[in-house]
């Protein structure tokens, strides 16, 4: 390659410097702003706290029972209470708490609600059904099992954490 090809004209040099300075200014201006806008997306979602649902471990049976409890939702500067529910039963020593939200389109499922399907969770919206352990029954609309809560027992009382997909 000849030297000529490498020569940068004065005008080109100035243009490069200019875009460099311009880039610096844009970065200096925009980086704090963009970081602020991205904050909700970058914020590590702290695992939600465990909440007492007001039922003792010894009150649970093999039959799923519905518990309702309130969760405090902190939405930036706004705090509100949201009521949630869960279907809880005991499988041997293990406590299973299932979210009642149907994985099809988000209706609320009920245990043993339909006479035709005893021993199933039944969703009234589109007739979706789940086994007792939350597994979706093939041939009905839902495509994955019910979400499951993290469960903890403290002093004999049941505490529920966040829901997890299976």
The upper half-sphere exposure of residue 71, i.e. CA atoms within 13 Å in the direction of its Cβ, equals 19
Q: Helices (H) and strands (E) in the chain — how many of each? A: 2, 9
Q: Which is nearer to another protein, 39 or 116 (CB)?
A: 39
Q: Which is nearer to another protein, 33 or 138 (CB)?
A: 33
Does 41 sit near another protein (CB under 8 A)?
A: no
Does 42 sit near another protein (CB under 8 A)?
A: yes
Q: Of 99-128, which residues contact another protein (CB under 8 A)?
A: none
CA distance 56 to 54: 7
Binding residue (CB under 8 A) for another protein from 1, 5, 6, 32: 32
- For residue 58, the SS3 value is helix
Q: How far are the Cα atoms of 88, 90, 106, 142, 164 from residue 146, in angstroms, in the given order?
A: 12, 16, 11, 9, 9
- Counting residues that bind another protein (by CB under 8 A) gives 24
Binding residue (CB under 8 A) for another protein from 1, 7, 9, 28: 28
Does 25 sit near another protein (CB under 8 A)?
A: yes
Q: Candidates 11-19, 106-114, 121-129, 132-140 — which segment interacts with another protein by CB under 8 A?
A: 11-19
Residue 147 near residue 166, CB atoms below 8 Å: yes
- Do the bridges between strand 65-75 and strand 78-91 make them parallel or antiparallel, or are there none, so unpaired? antiparallel
94 alpha-carbon distance from chain centroid: 23
Kindly state the smallest distance separating residue 10's Cβ from another protein, in Å.
9
Does 52 sit near another protein (CB under 8 A)?
A: no
Residues near another protein (CB under 8 A) are 11, 14-15, 17-18, 21-22, 24-25, 28-30, 32-37, 39, 42-43, 76-78
């Amino acid at each position: 390659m000849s030297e000529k090809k490498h020569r940068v004209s004065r005008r080109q040099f100035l243009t490069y410097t200019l875009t460099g300075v311009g880039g610096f200014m844009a970065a200096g201006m925009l980086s704090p702003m963009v970081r602020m806008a991205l904050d909700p997306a970058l914020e590590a979602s702290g695992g939600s706290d465990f909440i007492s649902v007001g039922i003792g471990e010894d009150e649970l049976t093999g039959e799923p029972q519905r518990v309702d409890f309130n969760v405090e939702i902190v939405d930036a500067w706004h705090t509100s209470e949201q009521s949630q529910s869960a279907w809880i039963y005991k499988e041997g020593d293990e406590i299973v708490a299932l979210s009642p939200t149907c994985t099809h389109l988000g209706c609320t499922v009920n245990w043993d609600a339909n006479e035709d399907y005893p021993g199933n969770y039944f969703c009234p919206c589109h007739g979706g059904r789940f086994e007792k352990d939350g597994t979706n029954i093939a041939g009905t609309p839902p495509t994955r099992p019910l979400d499951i809560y993290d469960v903890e027992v403290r002093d004999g009382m049941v505490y529920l954490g966040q829901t997890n997909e299976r």
